[in-house]
A and B are shown apart, each in its own frame.
Chain A
Amino acid sequence: MIGAITAGLFSAGTPAVTNSYESIATVTVGSGGSSSISFSSIPSTYKHLQIRAIARASGPYTYDQTNMTFNSDSGSNYSWHQLNGNGSSVTANGGTSTTFMRIADETAANNNANCFGGMVIDVLDYADTNKYKTARSLWGYEDNSTGTVGLRSGNWRSTSAVSSITLVCSNNWLQYSSFALYGIKG
């Protein structure tokens, strides 16, 4: 739907016309923590999907990583690339024929207290059965001592419509980590 404000989709949140951006589901991690979350039975009626999240992991590190897969596909059908800045240097790398997309990083146990990483993930044309599926993210964490901000892209080499999304943490996400799924109409 195109109106006075173009209903484009950017990781940084280009506004959509009223009623074209809908909340679908939210998963908030409880006191026991969780190493993965899933959105299942995703309706095919939207054009794009967006996940907006904050997260903190339990591992004894200053960051942890979030990996994403679709439709429970654990095969080597993914690839990803990243461009990151850590406050002093810029890095770029990626992976091909991987079993997941590395889509974001977040804080972990050795970061300053109460600091959570943020991520905005877009999955474009997720229900289109003529295309491979491309995702992109804007993500970052900052705790007044360390931090990293990054842009990532990922690809799932399948023309199947995405009906489920699984996000996995290398360790456990801590309580109050929260993942919200939205659908954007086209």
Chain B
Amino acid sequence: MAAGSTYTPLATTTLGSSQTSYTFTSIPSTYTDLVLVINAGIATLDDYPAIQVGNGSIDTGTNYSKTELYGTGSAAASFRDTSQAAIYCPVINQTNAGSYNAIFNFQNYSNTTTNKTVLFRTNNYSANVSADVGLWRSTSAINQIKVGLYYGTSGRAYVAGSTFTLYGIQAA
């Protein structure tokens, strides 16, 4: 069996000031999976992290869907979004830059045969925990990922200190 060291950091940023989104561009096609790690807070009010991807440009069409399993402090439930303009994550609602973390697995992101599946988990210490599967209905390779917000208005923004890190995993 071949063995090769992988799980390569591709890009990372720590916000110096509040921003409503961050976009990874020029993602190389040479890996098998991408892993996106977010550790963040929101400046004011509640919002929902919004994941969009694309090839050459971010796809803003209603080409995303998601199935979610989540638990609050008192109940477990499941719901689905279909034909949305982004993969919307569970609520982010605390100002501390470490109050909300999420890890996204973009599987076989660079193939041009399958639609793109993303498995992810989110954790919000004040609200809920979730496991999710998202879909981008496109067979295009992903070379851009945007981490935005559903609203991103009225002061809603990722706070300074929020971090966004992208890794590439190369299969043998």
Name the residue of chain A whose CB is nearest to the CB of B138: A114
Tell which of B5, B37, B79, B171 has the most Cβ of chain A within 10 Å: B171
Tell which of A119, A143, A144, A181 has the most Cβ of chain B within 10 Å: A144
Q: Would you call A65 an interface residue if the criterion is a C-beta within 8 Å of the partner chain's C-beta atoms? A: no
Interface size bucket, B side? 35 or more
Check if B2 sits within 8 Å of A52, measured CB to CB: no
Residues of B within 8 A of A182 (CB): 6, 169, 171
CB within 8 Å for A16 and B7 given contacts A25-B172, A52-B32, A140-B67? yes
Residues of A within 8 A of B33 (CB): 52, 180
**Interface residue SS majority, chain B:** strand
Q: Of B114, B132, B169, which one neighbours A115 at CB under 8 angstroms? A: B114
Q: Of B32, B121, B137, which one neighbours A144 at CB under 8 angstroms? A: B137
Q: Would you call A154 an interface residue if the criterion is a C-beta within 8 Å of the partner chain's C-beta atoms? A: no
Check if A118 sits within 8 Å of B1, measured CB to CB: no
Residues of A within 8 A of B165 (CB): 15
The interface on chain A, measured as residues whose beta carbon lies within 8 A of the other chain's beta carbons, has a size of: 58
Q: How far is the CA of A42 from the CA of B82 in the complex (A)?
A: 41
Q: How far is the CA of A109 from the CA of B18 in the complex (A)?
A: 45
**Interface residue SS majority, chain A:** strand
The interface stretch among A73-81, A84-92, A93-101 is A84-92
Check if A85 sits within 8 Å of B114, measured CB to CB: no
Contact pattern, A 43-63, Cβ under 8 Å of B = 1, otherwise 0? 100000000111010000000
- Could you tell me which A residues sit within 8 Å of B by CB distance? 10-16, 18-26, 39, 41-43, 52-54, 56, 83-90, 114-120, 138-145, 147-151, 176, 178, 180-183
8 contacting pairs across A/B (C-beta < 8 A): A25-B172, A52-B33, A84-B78, A85-B67, A117-B133, A118-B118, A141-B117, A142-B135
Beyond the given A86-B78, A115-B114, A142-B133, please list 15 additional residue pairs across the A-B interface where CB-CB is below 8 A. Answer: A10-B103, A11-B121, A15-B7, A18-B5, A23-B171, A54-B108, A56-B114, A87-B79, A116-B117, A117-B117, A119-B119, A120-B105, A142-B67, A180-B33, A183-B3
